[in-house]
């Protein structure tokens, strides 16, 4: 109907000067007329030009105020000359009218709000009562911008801009009635043999097809995969018979993945085996999630537990220990692991047992005893009782790596970290001395976040202390360099995300999965 009206009018007239007035004359929705004009203009049946003059009309709220008066006028008229209680006044007017009207009427000094009663401060006059009401009542149905410029500010807030219209003329392909073009050649067309007379719609070879629905990887999964395939390639160092450092001459010994399938861990493996004292703040309930059921572990290696107890209480291996009474019941408590270093402690203990009882001297690569160098890594979830903010979560993923060999130094650790993070696309690194109960020396790792415009801590690193390694049964000249980093924070840096809750958790926008890059080139 709208298309016939437009084409039919142009057949007898040169131009539709204003689509808005045309729609009003024909009794057709202006939006419907605009849609038809755009369609006809696309096929060059008409030439349409925007009408730049802005038009304004009263909003629904403005219409209501034009009829009943502004909120302050309605409120003032609801207050009788003898006054009224607040409760009764609230019953007489709408809540929105009461809220807005009170503020404006008090500002205009029309009423006085007592503790219990509301009273008038001015006398009622006919002109005063309909002051704003008349302004809106005689406001034109539509007006242009130059008219609005002279309107009172209170009235202007009750106006809404009307959508611009079009002026329309005949186009180069104008016809009084548009033919319906076919989009498909059907079986019926072939059977009736009328396909020769049918006008088909032209193909637009530049048009985009329907988006293909397919599965997409979350940025964390991509970073997870990169963490597995981009383990450091810095060569392990061994000690030759003459105690000089020699690399493995290009032989890249692969990292072995540690089993991290137990979210629940005992305090012994999570803390005590790491030479972390039982009075350490990290072992408090406000930092760690302890289990109610089962609350304690069932079994621990008793001989190893005894050595750990001794080094905590009185020291050994060149250490004075902590000098306190170590309690078995604290070590037995179950918790949600706070780091995957608990898994590292299990693996190193197992490695020490294998070295002592499972290998011959000829099988090991180190001349100092039955020991085989190892590289371990893990990527899995850990839990901390932390306040959630834009860079912290109570549940996140932890990447951990360690190299166990003879003659390792802090320089090797720094080189490994530079190699590891450069392969993830992070070359801006800083290291800061730190304290950890189970590493000495220790370093915090920082990377520059372009989105936050600051250095962000992404992990910790260091060399495991003798008080941790020697009770396990590892040889004295074996060192372990280790590092642990959050998976979320490097991913935030790589993908320009400035709030960790947008990356992991229940508030994640699933469209993020489709918007992020398929891959990162040049790493």
Query: For 151-203, what is each residue's pLDDT tens digit?
Result: 555 555 555 555 568 888 888 888 888 777 788 888 988 888 888 888 888 88
Supply the pLDDT for residue 164: 67
Residues 6+ apart with CB under 8 A from 7: 40, 45, 174, 175, 176, 177, 178
Question: Residue 189 is encoded by which pair of tokens?
Answer: 């067309």
Helices and strands: H and E segment counts in the chain: 21, 20
What percentage of the chain reaches a pLDDT higher than 70?
75
| CA dist., res. 199 & res. 247, Å (int) | 77
How are strands ordered across the β-sheet holding 117-120? 84-85, 117-120, 111-113
Q: Is the pLDDT of residue 403 over 80?
A: yes
Supply the pLDDT for residue 362: 42
| CA dist., res. 235 & res. 415, Å (int) | 10
Supply the pLDDT for residue 232: 44
Supply the pLDDT for residue 481: 92
Confidence of residue 245 (pLDDT cuts 50, 70, 90): very low
- Range of 135-144, 215-224, 367-376, 424-433 with top mean pLDDT: 424-433
Burial class (CB in 10 A: 0-12, 13-18, 19+), 387: exposed
- Range of 227-231, 388-392, 435-439 with top mean pLDDT: 435-439
Q: CB–CB of 404/238 below 8 Å?
A: no
| CA dist., res. 459 & res. 396, Å (int) | 13
Q: Cα separations (Å) of 198 from 190, 192, 194, 195, 514? A: 11, 11, 7, 5, 42
Least confident piece of the model among 251-255, 287-291, 401-405, 502-506? 251-255
CATH architecture of 250-264+339-515: 2-Layer Sandwich (3.30)
| CA dist., res. 381 & res. 90, Å (int) | 56
For residue 402, which of 358, 341, 352 has the smallest C-alpha distance? 341
Supply the pLDDT for residue 361: 39
Supply the pLDDT for residue 241: 23
Least confident piece of the model among 80-84, 332-336, 508-512, 513-517? 513-517
Average pLDDT over residues 431-445: 90
Q: CB–CB of 292/275 below 8 Å?
A: no
Supply the pLDDT for residue 231: 45
Supply the pLDDT for residue 363: 42
* DSSP per-residue codes, 50-115: E----EEEE-HHHHHHHHH--HHHHHHHHS-TT-EEHHHHHHHS-HHHHHHHHHHHHHTT-EEE-S
Average pLDDT over residues 513-520: 61
SS3 content of the chain, % helix, strand, coil (to 5): 35, 20, 40
Provide the residue ranges of all domains of the chain, joining segments of one domain with +. Answer: 250-264+339-515
Alpha-carbon dihedral angle through residues 126, 130, 135, 140, given to the nearest 10 degrees: -100
């Amino acid at each position: 109907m709208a298309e016939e009206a437009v084409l039919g009018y142009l057949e007898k007239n040169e131009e539709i000067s204003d689509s808005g007035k045309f729609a009003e004359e024909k009794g057709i929705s202006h939006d419907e007329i605009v849609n038809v004009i755009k369609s006809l203009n696309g096929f060059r049946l008409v030439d349409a030009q925007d009408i730049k003059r802005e038009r304004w009309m009263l909003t629904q709220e403005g219409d209501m105020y034009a009829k009943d008066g502004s909120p302050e006028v309605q409120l003032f008229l609801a207050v009788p000359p003898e006054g009224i209680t607040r409760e009764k006044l609230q019953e007489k007017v709408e809540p929105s009218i009461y809220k807005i009207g009170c503020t404006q009427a008090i500002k205009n000094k029309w009423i006085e709000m007592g503790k219990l009663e509301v009273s008038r401060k001015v006398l009622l006059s006919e002109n005063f009562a309909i002051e704003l009401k008349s302004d809106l009542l005689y406001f034109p149905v539509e007006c242009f911008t130059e008219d609005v410029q002279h309107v009172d500010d209170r009235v202007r807030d009750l106006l809404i801009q009307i959508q611009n219209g079009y002026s329309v003329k005949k186009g180069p392909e104008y016809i009084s009635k548009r033919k319906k073009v076919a989009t498909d050649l059907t079986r019926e067309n072939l059977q009736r043999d009328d396909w020769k007379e049918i006008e088909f719609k032209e193909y637009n070879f530049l048009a985009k097809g329907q988006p293909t629905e397919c599965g997409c990887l979350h940025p964390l999964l991509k970073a997870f995969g990169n963490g597995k395939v981009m383990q450091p390639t810095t060569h392990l160092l061994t000690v030759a018979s003459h105690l000089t450092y020699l690399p493995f001459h290009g032989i890249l010994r692969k990292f072995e993945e540690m089993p991290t399938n137990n979210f629940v861990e005992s305090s012994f493996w999570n803390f005590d085996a790491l030479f972390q004292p039982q009075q350490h703040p990290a072992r408090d309930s406000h930092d760690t999630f302890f289990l109610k059921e089962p609350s304690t572990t069932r079994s621990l290696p008793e001989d190893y537990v005894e050595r750990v107890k001794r080094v905590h209480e009185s020291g050994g291996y060149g250490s004075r220990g902590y000098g306190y009474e170590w309690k078995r019941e604290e070590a037995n408590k179950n918790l949600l692991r706070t780091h995957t270093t608990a898994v590292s402690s299990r693996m190193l203990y197992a490695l020490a047992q294998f070295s002592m009882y499972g290998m011959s001297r000829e099988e090991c690569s180190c001349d100092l005893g039955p020991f085989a160098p190892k590289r371990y890594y893990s990527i899995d979830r850990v839990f901390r009782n932390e306040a959630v903010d834009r860079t912290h979560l109570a549940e996140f993923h932890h990447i951990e790596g360690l190299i166990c060999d003879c003659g390792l130094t802090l320089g090797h650790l720094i080189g490994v970290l530079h190699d590891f993070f450069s392969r993830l696309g992070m070359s801006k690194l800083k290291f800061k001395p730190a304290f950890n109960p189970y590493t000495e020396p220790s370093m915090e790792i920082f990377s520059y976040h372009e989105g936050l415009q600051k250095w962000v801590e992404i992990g910790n690193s260091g060399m495991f202390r003798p008080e941790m390694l020697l009770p396990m049964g590892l040889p004295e000249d074996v060192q372990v360099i280790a590092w642990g980093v959050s998976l979320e924070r490097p991913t935030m840096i790589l993908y320009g995300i400035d709030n960790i809750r947008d990356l992991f958790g229940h508030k994640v926008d699933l469209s993020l999965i489709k918007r992020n890059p398929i891959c990162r080139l040049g790493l």
